[in-house]
Amino acid sequence: MPDDDWRSTNLANWNERVAFHAASGNYRVEQIATDPDVISGVVDFDRQLVGDATGKRAGVAARWYFGDLYDAPQVIGDETFDLVYTGVGAIGWLPDIRGWAQVVGHFVAPGGSFFIRECHPVLSALDYDDPDRLSIIFPYFETAEPTVFDEDGTYVDRDASFEHNRTVEWIHGLAETIQALLDAGLVLDDVGEHTFTDWQPFDRFQKIDERYGHWALPEDIRSHLPTMFHLKMHRPA
Ligand SMILES: C[S@@+](CC[C@H](N)C(=O)[O-])C[C@H]1O[C@@H](n2cnc3c(N)ncnc32)[C@H](O)[C@@H]1O
């Protein structure tokens, strides 16, 4: 698939859903903007929301750059940062986790840190339409060929209807992600696999926490499946 196809297909799908996500209770934009205790490091990078995110409400001055992840070193340059963070739901859109990790490594300053919280690849490999079992039907390891979905709706409202429904996605195994970051020169400080999510992946997930908006499988099968992971890494000074 030519590069521009997957980028433009995903962008059309995502852009159509951004305003809908922002208006939904799941994203808790108003709560995050007004209750500092809930911010927990959450920043929204979407262009249509930058009006809210440029610091007007949070009182923080920020510079904003827009571009494809793989172009970030060209767009931002050689500046390095004390903390690099990537938001939930990001790496599944990218074909090459090693290329992504090189971009992350490019920006972490000596002595600086990298933090990621992400959807667990085992959750991404599941059949969301099987109401009875946790069945793996998609790759767990990164493959050259993407998995292409054609699904109306979105995770904050599966009954909503949109025009652009195709997405082009890739899974990256947890060790593939960690190894790619190690190969980019980072050192692993902390790794965790979790049993909650920030969204409802499929019907069997139940809301377990209103304040932070967490969902999880019913307690009797909660220990069967990792749903998110986190990594904290640093570049030696
Ligand atoms: C599921 S969202 C996650 C963003 C945010 N955490 C959220 O929950 O809204 C996926 C994000 O990945 C971004 N994205 C997808 N492909 C990208 C690419 N090739 N380069 C840069 N960003 C990309 C989209 O613009 C979108 O903001």
Question: What confidence tens digit (pLDDT) does each residue in 82-105 have?
Answer: 999 988 999 999 999 999 999 999
User: Which residues pair with residue 83 across a beta bridge?
Assistant: 113
Residues 172-203 have pLDDT tens digits of 999 999 999 999 999 999 999 999 998 999 99
- Separation between Cα atoms, residue 47 and residue 66, nearest integer Å: 8
Q: Using pLDDT thresholds of 50, 70 and 90, give the confidence band for residue 45.
A: very low
Pair of tokens at residue 201? 């992946």
Ranges of beta strands (E only) in the chain are: 81-86, 108-119, 147-150, 166-169, 187-194, 196-197, 206-209, 214-216, 228-234
* pLDDT reading at 225 higher than 50: yes
Pair of tokens at residue 16? 């159509």
* pLDDT reading at 215 higher than 60: yes
**Cα 185 to averaged position of ligand 1 atoms, centre (Å):** 24
Q: Using pLDDT thresholds of 50, 70 and 90, give the confidence band for residue 43.
A: very low
Pair of tokens at residue 26? 């799941």
- Separation between Cα atoms, residue 223 and residue 221, nearest integer Å: 5
Per-chain mean pLDDT for the chain: 87
pLDDT of residue 201: 93
Q: Domain 3-234, what fold?
A: Rossmann fold (3.40.50)
Enumerate residues 6+ apart whose C-beta is below 8 A from 37: none
pLDDT of residue 105: 98
**Cα 169 to averaged position of ligand 1 atoms, centre (Å):** 12
pLDDT of residue 59: 57
Q: Is 16 in the pocket of ligand 1 (CB under 6 A)?
A: no
Question: Atom of ligand 1 at shortest distance to CA of 15?
Answer: 25
Q: Is 45 in the pocket of ligand 1 (CB under 6 A)?
A: yes
Tell me what the mean pLDDT of segment 164-179 comes to. 97
b/e burial code for range 175-204 (CB count within 10 A of at least 16 → b): ebbbebbeebbbeeeeeeeebbbbbbbbeb
H helices of the chain, where? 3-23, 29-34, 36-39, 50-53, 72-76, 97-107, 121-124, 174-183
Q: Is 138 in the pocket of ligand 1 (CB under 6 A)?
A: no
Q: Hey, what amino acid is at 108?
A: V
pLDDT of residue 40: 45
Number of H helices, E strands in the chain: 8, 9
Tell me what the mean pLDDT of segment 133-142 comes to. 96
Choose one of 1, 4, 11, 14 to mutate for the ligand 1 pocket test, by most ligand atoms within 8 angstroms of C-beta: 14
pLDDT of residue 52: 53
Q: Using pLDDT thresholds of 50, 70 and 90, give the confidence band for residue 41.
A: very low
Quick one: residue 185, left, alpha or beta (phi over 0 = left, psi -120 to 50 = alpha)?
Answer: left
**Cα 47 to averaged position of ligand 1 atoms, centre (Å):** 11
State if pTM tops 0.85: yes
Choose one of 45, 48, 167 to mutate for the ligand 1 pocket test, by most ligand atoms within 8 angstroms of C-beta: 45
* pLDDT reading at 223 higher than 80: yes
* pLDDT reading at 164 higher than 50: yes
Pair of tokens at residue 175? 């060790």
* pLDDT reading at 55 higher than 70: no
**Cα 80 to averaged position of ligand 1 atoms, centre (Å):** 21
**Percent above pLDDT 90 for the chain:** 68
Q: Is 162 exposed, middle or buried (0-12, 13-18, 19+ CB in 10 A)?
A: middle
User: Which residues pair with residue 49 across a beta bridge?
Assistant: none
Q: Is 13 in the pocket of ligand 1 (CB under 6 A)?
A: no
Domain chopping of the chain, boundaries: 3-234
* Closest residue by Cα to residue 230 from 186, 195, 191: 191
- Size (the chain), residues: 237
**Percent above pLDDT 70 for the chain:** 86
